[in-house]
Chains A and B, each alone.
Chain A
């Protein structure tokens, strides 16, 4: 799927394949055997000074957000920058942003799994963990943004004596279902996939307490055929179960807007547009995370340029989808003949919010076009920069959807502006702190590259001479290696 040239050596057709092996046409030529996989990946679990520093920064950011929340609860939402009629602001923008981030994770781990896309293997765990933590982050914002957060449970349909139920017509109630379902399923999926890896950790663990915990978490995994069979079934089932969720959850989130009568929101294009945008932004976030990780951990031979190249194509594709959605919005606004709709889009591009409108078009449509170039697709520096640009662009996309629409509605007398306050921005910082706090804690406890799945795609035993065997030293450690030629199977 992702490579251009045919691999020079491929496993023989008759080789036995495990049921959950994806059609692995991306090989890991520099990974020689299972033990190397175990060694190299579990080596990433040792805390380092840099990691502590990063965790400290993340916790600090999280505390900034937490203090802002305390402050806001005490004084009221007025401390945020809301300017009616812009009743939703940074919180909802950031909510949609994080939900979107979450989606690519499930796409990579579940949908690409079903499609047997080999390039997912080494990045899926990072993505899935990212999903869980992103949804955990996103889930906070609907609570943060409401006026009386201590009453948020009223949105949950719990049985009560007064027989008061939520309004099931409200997209916000759908959100509650969608997000909680999504969080449950993606957490389960992450956990199920982790079981064989936890077993590996358990086997290597010497600390009795940790060993005990890992034994419990691994559910007594013993690597038997039966277990593998059940594991594969469960994994497949959850992948199949997650797949519609990817499409439905972000569709439901888009209903928050599409179900309203507000110009700029009231449109049927939102569900596919949001899903595509989510995948787009999620891949960018995966890059933001994995590109530094593979460098710091020296795991470039696991997450190879071929992987990144393949995901770059995905990003380019979703960028085109999102771009078409943007352009269709303008067309539909013009075609609708609705003055409120037309003026809103005019305002978005040439009016009050031109900077938001253009920044999203440039970040999300123009910059990704560089990915037509194979050289740039394989340039990790560029990919990293691009991932930041896309993240900003996608945040701006949500900004452009939420704020300009509300500020420029039907009633001209109530047209207004919006300027986030320091409280809003503290929450934005806090959300990154919260996300990275969990993520950093996760990567030092459990492997972020799936040990078991990597083992599945390397041949059990090399039949042919490894073309780069000289790059592996006597201790089995891998030396600097980057496949320079696109599609090079070396």
Chain B
């Protein structure tokens, strides 16, 4: 190395050379990674974008016809969460599971990346440019007009409110195309038809609070019947009145979610509802005896119903059956309401919901299908609607489409109808588009994009404008460059008012009336009905087909959150099932999970049996929503990687091969008065096939076994409880105790109206504050102190106001035993005790909280067919992997941090005899954030420990995965990452691109091998604390709330600081109905449940009572 032989070592220059070369080699070899991530700061800030801070856009939910207001939370230009808009008149801050899951429509991995065309008949769809696609479309429509064929074109639009239908009709009229068909597969058409006839309004507001008795003839107002969220809010508010709450009687062959919320179930034979309604009306064609005979229910039950109905005023009678006589029933019920004086009291036609204005019927679609079949349709345009799937196969819509020479789809996702189209011009998602709606008369709900489009999609309205501009004859009609400008030009008050309105999302005003269609209104379709009620020749069992409470008629099937969300009644997900009564199962020799073949004249399906107490023994029930399959017959359970190729056929990867479609069984008859498809119209033959597959259920035992998890009492017991507790409390609390008035138990409804940031009303506030002031109320300095020497009284609700209690002495500041969590902790956190109350009198079991938690906390879905485990090194036929949909959930590995438990009480001998007198109790179960947590002491590495503000914290990074914490958790609310659900390289990855865009950046995505659980949305707590710190103020009472509470459409969940009397939760925790689950285990939970209140029949209790 050295040039100088005398030099003993390395020369300086050589050393430097070596050093340099060595460093370079090291740097190149050692520091390179395969994947270089770039972290580039904004040089020029985009408007309204601060990295790490959320921006919120008020917009409108388009997942169903109701048009609820939502607030889209965006982070760095991506929508990450949807929440209800508190200012919106319809949903008042709440949002259902389907609304939450709109996000998974936006980021659906199967969405069309851009416009597509089918170059050859029967060939594949291929991507093209928008220029070419628009040119193609313009050319086609132009030709049509030139040929005089325009009147033969058909436009089917997914029903929506607002200006777009008017815009569309205007556009169509310009070309001479008839007005579009506004199709909504989920709409309860019979009820709407009857309401229009009776009240002149499609959907009067239902005021449950004004009623003392609610009688529902199959009207599932909590699951699918009408605008669910506002109805649920109204129902929960009504039930929260406790003493003055309405009693509900549900009449129908199957107990739906709404039925399970009823106090009494009259299990009538399908199709006999009309007889009962007529009997109630008195001399309207049926006597009580005849009705009892027809309905196959005890005469005494109906007599009692009649007595009660005539005695209780005001009442509210609803009808929502799906038989061929559904409109007749709804009319009869409307007449009942009018006779009972309910109209204007509990039914308000003057305050109608405008969700169902201008709705087309399946009968009209059937006509279109007939015209298509006859070759009378030259161009079919479909936007959003999926008639090829949602119409009964017997109507042959899909086959008829083959006869149409050119079919255009504006759908953003692959579906059964789009699959048959020749040109796909994918629309923006609702969260990427402009629009408006008028949910209630006189109020506009604004729709604005929350982000730039994810893919190369284009708003249909813009496509139509572009097409018109490309057509010499039409260009003049559209001076506006795009739909947004068009909207603004029509907006009352113009640009300025528009800009002001979109900040709140709602505005006074009305959507201007649509221009009269150029073509005369369509003639009413001739009804296709059958005489003699339910077809009785086909089998021994009545068939009840109903829309799924989660998936509706199938629109949500490609969203993993909705597939994973257990059905609120059966608790089954990722699967179709046939509901039969246990006695029927005994007769057929069927066990739960045995496959049943259900056959009608129209077709047959095979699905596992679910033994359900709430269905008549002579009836089988199947839910709609699943069973999507491509027309080419592909699908099934073929293995598919999460990052696999696009699904251009069928309904997408999550829906493919999942479940069966009961529409195959429906012969396609209609309710002649409304044109609605009659779902409860036929009998079916049920046979056992001999196959078996385990039910994909999250339910362990449906009975509580006396464990007292979901507790209830009757209204009569409520009175005695109030007195007893009141006296006790008055004795134990010397100053300020106001005796019986606990926690705002004023009859006006105790739970908060619920909007985040809204301070709870004054009712009960002062009394509660007086009681709790000496425990943890704010002192003069705004800080909390825990004066020594004052022993805390035993609180009926929250036994542990601060975390310190369970660990050291009971919050005595002088005690030397501070335990692990000193209330004078340097962090200042220990002054708080984050807690939650869950009012079971309000909870309806709708499960919106579950999906909200998935959205907020990046919970992985685990049920997709590619997420199962390996069955064995080599399993013949099936391949090595378990590709059953929901395979992980069969093993109980779902990751729902909050789950909805549904327990039955009563009907203990259901497997030998049919007993309609049972009660269902819903209890959301989540981490109880115990003050004395069994999980904490057993974790060997401190991965779970107690924070000074009472949270039971889980440190994912520290967790080694011994799972001891879960074993020791009495509530079983800890969930383990069995696979790398959060690791993109893994087969079980739960967020295939771009679903990962939905991930909340405030929350970690957990890797495999660690435990996770509800954190009480700790990211929201810390965010609120930081915000308060920045603004130099304490956190205000009810300033923020957690995701589940935020979404809850019943306002059953309330979150806050129980150590501060100003928070609603501290008041509710003192409620006389408060209890802890497994209190005997001394866990000192932070979740307080308020007992459900049952309303047994006024005469000797027919409904089961008791706690």
Residue with the greatest number of chain B CB neighbours at <10 A, chosen from A71, A146, A149, A165 = A146
Q: Is B961 an interface residue (CB 8 A)?
A: yes
A76 contacts across to B, CB distance below 8 A: 977-980, 986, 988, 1008-1009
C-alpha spacing A75/B972, complex, angstroms: 24
Contact A410 B970 (CB under 8 A): yes
One of B703, B893, B968, B1008 near A262 (C-beta < 8 A): B968
Contact A83 B709 (CB under 8 A): no
Q: Is A88 an interface residue (CB 8 A)?
A: yes
C-alpha spacing A84/B972, complex, angstroms: 9
B1081 contacts across to A, CB distance below 8 A: 261, 410
B902 CB, nearest partner CB in chain A, Å: 8
Contact B940 A79 (CB under 8 A): no
Contact B968 A414 (CB under 8 A): no
Contact A422 B872 (CB under 8 A): yes
Output the nearest chain A residue to B868 by Cβ-Cβ distance: A78
One of A145, A167, A406, A423 near B940 (C-beta < 8 A): A167
Q: Is B373 an interface residue (CB 8 A)?
A: no
B977 contacts across to A, CB distance below 8 A: 76, 147
Q: Which of the candidate stretches A6-14, A168-176, A368-376, A481-489 sits at the interface with the other chain?
A: A168-176
Q: Is B706 an interface residue (CB 8 A)?
A: yes
Q: Is A77 an interface residue (CB 8 A)?
A: yes
Known: A339-B707, A412-B703, A415-B701. A87 touches B967 (CB 8 A): yes
Q: Is B1010 an interface residue (CB 8 A)?
A: yes
Chain A 398-427: CB-based contact to B (< 8 A → 1; otherwise 0): 000000001001111111100001110000
C-alpha spacing A82/B890, complex, angstroms: 11
Chain B 898-925: CB-based contact to A (< 8 A → 1; otherwise 0): 0101010000000000000000000001
Chain B 946-982: CB-based contact to A (< 8 A → 1; otherwise 0): 0000000000001111111011101110011111100
A310 CB, nearest partner CB in chain B, Å: 40
Output the nearest chain A residue to B987 by Cβ-Cβ distance: A75
Output the nearest chain B residue to A259 by Cβ-Cβ distance: B938
B: contact size bracket: 35 or more
C-alpha spacing A22/B887, complex, angstroms: 61
Chain A 54-86: CB-based contact to B (< 8 A → 1; otherwise 0): 000000000000000001000111110111110
C-alpha spacing A311/B979, complex, angstroms: 47
Contact B892 A85 (CB under 8 A): yes
Contact B870 A75 (CB under 8 A): yes
C-alpha spacing A171/B699, complex, angstroms: 31
C-alpha spacing A414/B900, complex, angstroms: 11
Contact B960 A261 (CB under 8 A): no
Residue with the greatest number of chain B CB neighbours at <10 A, chosen from A164, A260, A406, A412 = A412
A78 contacts across to B, CB distance below 8 A: 869, 888, 893, 978-979, 988, 1008
One of B941, B966, B968, B1011 near A155 (C-beta < 8 A): B941
C-alpha spacing A152/B1009, complex, angstroms: 12
Q: Is B934 an interface residue (CB 8 A)?
A: yes
B938 contacts across to A, CB distance below 8 A: 167, 169-172, 259-260
A262 contacts across to B, CB distance below 8 A: 967-968
Chain B 295-322: CB-based contact to A (< 8 A → 1; otherwise 0): 0000000000000000000000000000
Q: Is B1032 an interface residue (CB 8 A)?
A: no
Q: Is A343 an interface residue (CB 8 A)?
A: yes
B861 CB, nearest partner CB in chain A, Å: 14
Interface residues of A in 201-236 (CB under 8 A from B): none
Q: Is B41 an interface residue (CB 8 A)?
A: no
One of A169, A176, A421 near B869 (C-beta < 8 A): A421
Known: A87-B967, A416-B700. A422 touches B873 (CB 8 A): yes
B1010 contacts across to A, CB distance below 8 A: 147-148
Q: Is A3 an interface residue (CB 8 A)?
A: no
Contact B960 A147 (CB under 8 A): yes
C-alpha spacing A102/B871, complex, angstroms: 33
Contact B968 A261 (CB under 8 A): yes
Contact A164 B942 (CB under 8 A): yes
C-alpha spacing A87/B431, complex, angstroms: 41
Q: Is A166 an interface residue (CB 8 A)?
A: yes
A227 CB, nearest partner CB in chain B, Å: 43
C-alpha spacing A176/B964, complex, angstroms: 15
C-alpha spacing A271/B898, complex, angstroms: 37
One of A147, A149, A154, A412 near B705 (C-beta < 8 A): A412
Contact B700 A414 (CB under 8 A): yes
Contact B972 A151 (CB under 8 A): no
A77 contacts across to B, CB distance below 8 A: 961, 976, 978, 1008-1009
Contact A147 B1011 (CB under 8 A): yes
B684 CB, nearest partner CB in chain A, Å: 32
A414 contacts across to B, CB distance below 8 A: 700, 892, 972
Q: Is B939 an interface residue (CB 8 A)?
A: yes
Contact B964 A172 (CB under 8 A): yes
Number of A-B contacts (CB under 8 A): 185
Q: Is B937 an interface residue (CB 8 A)?
A: yes
A257 CB, nearest partner CB in chain B, Å: 9
Contact A409 B970 (CB under 8 A): yes
C-alpha spacing A437/B869, complex, angstroms: 30
Q: Is B119 an interface residue (CB 8 A)?
A: no
Residue with the greatest number of chain A CB neighbours at <10 A, chosen from B869, B936, B945, B1010 = B869
One of A81, A82, A146, A410 near B707 (C-beta < 8 A): A410
C-alpha spacing A148/B980, complex, angstroms: 12
Contact A147 B976 (CB under 8 A): yes
Q: Is A288 an interface residue (CB 8 A)?
A: no
One of B873, B892, B962 near A172 (C-beta < 8 A): B962
C-alpha spacing A376/B962, complex, angstroms: 44
Contact B709 A170 (CB under 8 A): no
Q: Is B15 an interface residue (CB 8 A)?
A: no
Interface residues of B in 793-828 (CB under 8 A from A): none
Residue with the greatest number of chain B CB neighbours at <10 A, chosen from A78, A147, A261, A410 = A78
Contact B972 A411 (CB under 8 A): yes
Contact B872 A147 (CB under 8 A): no
Contact B893 A170 (CB under 8 A): no
Contact A148 B872 (CB under 8 A): no
A252 CB, nearest partner CB in chain B, Å: 13
Contact A79 B700 (CB under 8 A): no
C-alpha spacing A406/B888, complex, angstroms: 18
B963 contacts across to A, CB distance below 8 A: 87-88, 146-147
Q: Is A180 an interface residue (CB 8 A)?
A: no
Q: Is A380 an interface residue (CB 8 A)?
A: no
Interface residues of A in 134-164 (CB under 8 A from B): 142, 145-149, 151-152, 154-155, 164
A170 contacts across to B, CB distance below 8 A: 937-940, 964
A418 CB, nearest partner CB in chain B, Å: 9
Contact A413 B699 (CB under 8 A): yes
Contact A412 B701 (CB under 8 A): yes
Output the nearest chain A residue to B820 by Cβ-Cβ distance: A169
C-alpha spacing A81/B890, complex, angstroms: 11
B20 CB, nearest partner CB in chain A, Å: 34
A114 CB, nearest partner CB in chain B, Å: 34
Q: Is B704 an interface residue (CB 8 A)?
A: yes
Residue with the greatest number of chain B CB neighbours at <10 A, chosen from A148, A155, A176, A262 = A148
Contact B940 A172 (CB under 8 A): yes
Known: A78-B869, A79-B870, A146-B962. A339 touches B1008 (CB 8 A): no
Give 4 nearest A-B pairs by CB, closest first.
A147-B961, A147-B1009, A78-B978, A415-B700
Ordered by A's residue number, 20 sampled pairs between the chains whose C-beta atoms are within 8 Å are A78-B988, A79-B869, A82-B976, A84-B892, A84-B966, A85-B966, A146-B962, A148-B1010, A151-B960, A170-B938, A170-B940, A259-B937, A260-B968, A261-B970, A262-B967, A411-B970, A412-B700, A413-B699, A414-B700, A422-B873
Q: Which residues of A contact B (CB under 8 A)?
A: 71, 75-79, 81-85, 87-88, 142, 145-149, 151-152, 154-155, 164-167, 169-173, 176, 256, 259-262, 339-340, 343, 406, 409-416, 421-423
Extra inter-chain contacts (4) besides given A82-B893, A261-B934, A410-B972, CB under 8 Å: A88-B967, A147-B976, A262-B968, A413-B972
Q: Which residues of B contact A (CB under 8 A)?
A: 699-701, 703-707, 709, 869-873, 888, 891-893, 899, 901, 903, 925, 934, 936-942, 945, 958-964, 966-968, 970-972, 975-980, 986-988, 1008-1011, 1078, 1081
